[in-house]
Structure 1
Amino acid sequence: MPHEDRDRAAEAQVLLSNERTFLSWIRTALALMVTGVALVAFDLPIDIGWRLAAAGVLLLLAIANAAQALVSWRVNDRALRNGEEIPELRSGLWIAAGVGGAVMLLLVGWVLT
């Protein structure tokens, strides 16, 4: 395989990897959304107010996560095409903190119910 063809194949592989990462973040957003809806839809042994609060946190995280996925994909795509450094991703911390906060709301609601 000529050198130019290998470079083009490597570039395509990196661009497709960026797209797969985008789709993974979208799946994460969908999982957060579905979990938030399930907290309200199912009759759990936790007061509805606590479940609504946790569901609200998860739904806000889902929206933020989907927006971050789109922005990161576009920024990374532009950087890859221009041979620039890919910016560091910082969203993992706030997603973990938000999920932890939603779990804490559910635990407090469960203890108080």
Structure 2
Amino acid sequence: MTDVEEPNASDPDRRRPQWVYRPGHEPDPRYSLANERTFLAWARTALGILAGAVALHSLEVPRLGWLRSSVIVLLVLLAVGCAVMSIVRWARIERAMRLGQQLPSFAAGFVLAGALVVIGILLGVSLAF
């Protein structure tokens, strides 16, 4: 047995990112875990969008090459944006909970939904021709 203390994993100085974990008080673990599950759901959404881009490329749908390329690029950019947004949103919510502030707005969901509507319309129009 040694007399060396194990570092406390919940010590705010050891957790990253410090701008999230250092201020405020530790929230109820249920809320932090729910926030993590939401982050993972957004990450799965990003992977699903990326899989859609790969499928369009592999199946060569729609037939119009320029439109297919445009939709694939839009889907890839949307997937990257969704992944970046998920980690930013997780951090903002975790920090707000720690500081007892209001949770941030859900603007990212509207952006995602709007982009998917535009992509769906482009694909629908292209399949009609």
Q: Same fold (TM over 0.5)?
A: yes
Q: Which of 34, 37, 43 is the equivalent residue of 1:26?
A: 43
Aligned residues: 103
Displaced runs of 4 or more, over 4 A: none
SS in 2 for 1:22: helix
**Distance in 2 (alpha carbons) for counterparts of 1:71 and 1:45:** 34
1:88 counterpart SS class: coil
Q: Which structure has the bigger radius of gyration?
A: 2
Contact 1:40 1:48 in 2 (8 A): no
More helix by share: 1
Unpaired stretches in structure 1, ≥5 consecutive residues: 1-9
Q: TM-score, normalised by structure 1?
A: 0.83
Q: 2:52 aligns with which of 35, 39, 49?
A: 35
* TM-score of the superposed pair, with normalisation by structure 2: 0.73
Which consecutive residues of structure 2, in runs of 5 or more, have no partner in the other structure?
A: 1-26
Would you say 1:50 and 2:67 are equivalent positions?
Answer: yes
Question: Could you say what secondary structure the match of 1:84 adopts?
Answer: coil
Tell me how large the CA RMSD over aligned residues is. 1.5
